[in-house]
């Protein structure tokens, strides 16, 4: 995928999520099915995953290459990244990674702030995706807690899918709940 297509995909996936969240009853922000994250926790998780990516993309690329190395393989296609993510999720058997363990439940008062912040971070990621060189997209790598080291192009595509993944979970688990 070229960077404009990736940026457009990021926008589309986040827009679908935000629209869905805006149309949900406020009660679902803090309540959810037994043992599942609330819609507030899902939103917080997505915010927690996009902020470090934006922060890394703000760093000089030579520092990222020094810290993490350079890609030693061709960039995977979007579908291959999605497939690999699902394989890794199965291997992880429900493991929750450090940043999302014992996550607090955001209050209803936090809802608008978190939605606005997620939209702001998503717009930053679109901008950074369009501005980074194709060479850096394909050769600079970043670590992912589940997927391992990935070229920036892949991790940005994964981020778009990650939002879709959580939107699907929300729609499946929360659309029919009434409190």
Note the pLDDT tens digit of each residue in 7-44: 999 999 999 999 999 998 888 899 878 888 899 999 99
* pLDDT band per the 50, 70, 90 thresholds, residue 66: very high
Q: Whole-prediction pTM value?
A: 0.92
Statement: residue 148 has pLDDT above 70? yes
Q: Which domains does the chain have, with CATH numbers?
A: 3-23+34-174 (1.20.120)
Rounded to an integer, what distance in angstroms lies between the CA atom of residue 140 and that of residue 28?
A: 39
Statement: residue 175 has pLDDT above 80? no
**Residue 148 phi/psi, 5° resolution?**
85, -165
* pLDDT band per the 50, 70, 90 thresholds, residue 177: low
Rounded to an integer, what distance in angstroms lies between the CA atom of residue 28 and that of residue 21?
A: 9
In this prediction, residues 90-97 reach a mean pLDDT of 70
Rounded to an integer, what distance in angstroms lies between the CA atom of residue 42 and that of residue 38?
A: 6
HSE-up of residue 127 (Cα within 13 Å, Cβ side): 9
pLDDT for residue 95: 62
Statement: residue 94 has pLDDT above 80? no
Rounded to an integer, what distance in angstroms lies between the CA atom of residue 111 and that of residue 132?
A: 31
CA distances from 135 to 123, 131, 150, 154 (A): 22, 12, 14, 13
Statement: residue 108 has pLDDT above 90? yes
pLDDT for residue 90: 86
Mean pLDDT of the chain: 92
């Amino acid at each position: 995928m070229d960077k404009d297509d990736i940026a457009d995909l990021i926008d589309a996936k986040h827009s679908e999520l935000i629209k869905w969240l805006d149309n949900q009853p406020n009660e679902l922000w803090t309540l959810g099915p037994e043992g599942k994250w609330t819609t507030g926790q899902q939103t917080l998780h997505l915010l927690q995953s996009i902020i470090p990516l934006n922060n890394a993309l703000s760093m000089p690329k030579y520092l990222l290459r020094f810290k993490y190395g350079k890609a030693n393989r061709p960039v995977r296609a979007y579908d291959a990244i999605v497939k690999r993510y699902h394989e890794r999720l199965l291997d992880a058997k429900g493991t929750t990674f450090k940043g999302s363990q014992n996550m607090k439940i955001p209050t209803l008062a936090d809802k608008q702030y978190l939605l606005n912040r997620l939209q702001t971070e998503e717009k930053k990621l679109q901008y950074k995706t369009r501005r980074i060189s194709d060479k850096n997209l394909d050769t600079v790598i970043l670590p992912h807690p589940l997927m391992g080291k990935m070229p920036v192009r892949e991790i940005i595509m994964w981020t778009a899918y990650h939002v879709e993944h959580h939107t699907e979970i929300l729609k499946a688990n929360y659309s029919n709940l009434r409190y």
